[in-house]
Amino acid sequence: MSKLPAEFADLERFADWCLPTEEERYAKRLNSSMAEMQDLYDAGMARLEDIMVYVDARFPLAGMPEDAKALVHLGQSIVMVSFPVEVWKQPRVLDSGAAYIQLVKEPVV
C-alpha cells in the first residue's frame, strides 16, 4: 500500500522518512549514512517545490488526508538532510559535541 499520493510515486522508496515528529526525523538522520541522505536529498530537492504546491493548493492544515500528511513529513525530512548534505558532509552538526535541543511542541500537521 502506498503511503504517498499517486503523483509522488517516485518518492515512495523514501516512505521510511515520512516521520511525524522532528525528534523522529532527527534520529533517522543521525542513524542514516551520507549515501542514504544524499539519495533522499537528490530525489527530494528535485520535487520539493512540487510537494509544496500540491499540499498548499489542495488541503487546509486541519483535516489533511493521511497521504498528504506523509508527503509534508517527507518534505520536512528532505529539508532536515539538506545541511548535512550541502554543508557539513556528516549527519551531525559540526563541533556540537553532545549538545542536543529537544523540541517541546510540534507544529500543526
Q: Is the pLDDT of residue 88 over 90?
A: no
14 phi, psi to nearest 5 deg: -100, 20
Mean pLDDT of the chain: 89
Provide the number of structural domains found in the chain: 1
Tell me, yes or no, whether 28 lies in a domain.
yes
Tell me, yes or no, whether 102 lies in a domain.
no
Tell me, yes or no, whether 25 lies in a domain.
yes
- Express each pLDDT in 27-55 by its tens digit: 999 999 999 999 999 999 999 999 999 99
pLDDT over 90, % of the chain: 72
Q: Domain range holding 21?
A: 6-88
pLDDT given at position 102: 63
pLDDT given at position 81: 95
Tell me, yes or no, whether 80 lies in a domain.
yes
Alpha-carbon span 54 to 72, nearest angstrom: 10
The one-letter amino acid at 55:
V
Tell me, yes or no, whether 107 lies in a domain.
no
Higher model confidence: residue 65 or residue 61? Answer: 65
- Express each pLDDT in 89-101 by its tens digit: 888 665 555 555 5
pLDDT given at position 106: 62
Which single residue is written with the C-alpha cell 551531525? 92
pLDDT given at position 8: 98
